């Protein structure tokens, strides 16, 4: 699924104030998280909503090396770059899930 030494296509669909977040990598659905019902220690969806608000936050993140992976994850000279970033506002009536990449 992951293309090494080539561009990868990542898609994220985020629907709702406490959203359903669905992500795809190269057309393959890899995750769907329901922020309103997520069960995790110390996670309070209403507190998160209070800090972030209902709309308008977009972030691109790259995690650094994890000791478990060592140099296999990010080798010397490795780079992370983005291109062709598109943002599309969904209609208010958009369904919460969409399996189509």
Q: CB atoms < 10 A from the CB of 24, how many?
A: 19
| pLDDT 10s digits, 47-99 | 988 888 877 778 888 776 667 766 666 667 777 889 999 998 878 765 555 55
Residue 98 lies in a domain: no
Which residue in this structure is represented by tokens 């890899």? 30
Residue 29 lies in a domain: yes
CA 28 to chain centre: 13
Domain count, the chain: 1
Residue 96 lies in a domain: no
State which residues form the domain around 38.
Answer: 1-91
Residue 64 lies in a domain: yes
Residue 31 lies in a domain: yes
Residue 70 lies in a domain: yes
| Burial status of residue 22 (CB atoms within 10 A of its CB: 0-12, 13-18, 19 or more) | buried
Predicted TM-score of the model (pTM): 0.72
User: Is residue 11 over pLDDT 90?
Assistant: yes
Q: Please tell me the predicted confidence (pLDDT) of residue 39.
A: 93
Residue 99 lies in a domain: no
Separation of alpha carbons 75 and 98, rounded Å:
35
């Amino acid at each position: 699924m992951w293309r090494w030494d080539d561009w990868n296509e990542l898609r994220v669909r985020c629907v709702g104030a406490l959203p359903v977040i669905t992500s795809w990598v190269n057309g393959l659905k890899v995750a769907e998280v329901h922020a309103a019902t997520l069960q995790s220690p110390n996670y309070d969806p209403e507190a998160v909503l209070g800090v972030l608000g209902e709309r308008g936050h977009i972030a691109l993140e790259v995690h650094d090396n994890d000791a478990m992976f060592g140099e296999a994850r990010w080798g010397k000279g490795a780079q992370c770059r983005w291109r062709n970033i598109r943002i599309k506002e969904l209609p208010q009536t958009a369904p919460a899930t969409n399996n189509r990449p």
